[in-house]
Amino acid sequence: MTGFLAFKAHRYGSEEMKSIFSEESRLQRLLDVEAALARAHAATGNIPEKDADMISKKASTKYVSIDRVKEIESEIHHDLMAVVKAFTEVCGDAGRYVHLGATSYDIIDTANALQFKDALKIIKRDLFEFEGILLGLAEENIKTVAVGRTHGQHATPITYGLKFALWAREVRRHIDRIEDAEKRILVGKMSGAVGTQASFGRDGIRIQKEVMKYLGLKPAMVSNQVVQRDRYAELILLLALIAASLDKFAKEVRNLMRTEIAEVSERFDERKQVGSSTMPHKKNPINAENICGLSRVVKSNVSVALENVSLEHERDLTNSSAERVIIPESFILLDEMLKRSKKVFGGLVLHPENIKRNLELTKGMELAEAVMIALTRKGVGRQDAHELLRKISLAAYRKNISLKDAMLENSEVTKHLSKGEIESLVDPAGYIGTAVFQVEAVLKAARREREEKPDT
């Protein structure tokens, strides 16, 4: 069967997404393009209107069967020509005008764009819904103070609201990227064997324009035998970039779900869900791990898409076999990742007691920067204050005492800061800067954007 591989039985992806890349769906889009071409020819007076009507009427898998296409392909060993022959058979006398002036990739690449259009619609919808989930988490946890981590070590306090807001904006950028890229990706062509449109005569530019108008696509301004594969590379890069973000979010859940951290967890069905075949106590981050694993495949497809850009002369066939795999695979796996991301974060459980425990784990060390800044406001040089807090922190570690107690023992600190000031400085909730205001700004911007484009 021509076009992309059938992924109907694929373990991953929704039926909605997989149906776009099914054999029947692919065949229907090829027929849609052939019908649009016939209508364009009729509009320019090249073929009778009644023949264009017949071709359009028969441009359906109701009349052109996949089995017949495969039967012909097994004989002639050309996938698109098998479609053309099977289509011609059912069109009667009008069949003589099927595929008039077109080369295979006029039909294939234009059909590709129709698939991209439908698949990207699903991706955008899921991103929009996922953004909503993250915004909800940001608002719910706008003042949930936790320890921040850099290099895997405790840093200064952060809020979970800020973490979720950060991710929500990343998702919004992906929505924006798709909408910007669609004008370069949702492009079809009718340019003939090498791009000159010679087979369409003087009507070539008009025919191409008419075809794309019927199909709701943008015509390529110039092409050779194929739509240039920098467009396809951009598409796969975009899908991989989204996958990379989902990988990042899921990896954070996996790390925060570690037994010794346990600040968040995936929702676990205690009635039936099994964590391990041998360890009955396990509650594993299976969805987050699945997201991270699938992202590796989607990201790996980028190198193939980039290789496909450099086709020889007016084109060769090296892109074809690879695209039958990487395009449906990237869409289907990303679809699965988005569905699982919505599930993970839509059911995410936060554990306040563990968040508090971890925040207090280093006995106030995460507030050393706050004290350093306070000392500089009292007239101590910044570098001197930094060195002083470095030594105090090391001493506190050695003695296994809190930063507050270590500072109260240090005359240089108590010379500038009172006990009350020190106690206030080691309150994590007092050192979250503008985190709350930043989250509020994100929520305000997101509400405006989502109201402007509610149907994304």
What residues are labeled active site?
151, 276
List all residues 6 or more positions away from 451 whose beta carbon is below 8 Å from its beta carbon.
none
Hey, is 159 helix, strand or coil? strand
Alpha-carbon gap, residue 305 to 327, rounded angstroms: 9
Task: Return the amino acid letter for 455.
Answer: D
Helix then strand then coil, in percent of the chain rounded to 5, is 65, 5, 30
Burial class (CB in 10 A: 0-12, 13-18, 19+), 307: middle
Phi-psi map region of 151: left, alpha, beta (phi>0 left; psi -120 to 50 alpha):
left
Alpha-carbon gap, residue 241 to 248, rounded angstroms: 11
Stretch (H or E) spanning 101: none
Q: Which of 398, 406, 439 is nearest to 425 (CA)?
A: 406
Q: Which of 154, 367, 166 is nearest to 260 (CA)?
A: 154
Q: Which of 147, 157, 326, 138 is nearest to 229 (CA)?
A: 326
Torsion angle of the four alpha carbons 100, 105, 110, 114, in this order, in degrees rounded to the nearest 10: 120
Helices (H), 186-315: 204-215, 229-256, 286-307
The CB density around residue 444, as the number of other CB atoms within 10 Å, is 10
Rg (CA), the chain: 30
Rounded to the nearest angstrom, the gap between the alpha carbon of residue 51 and the centroid of all alpha carbons in its chain is 43
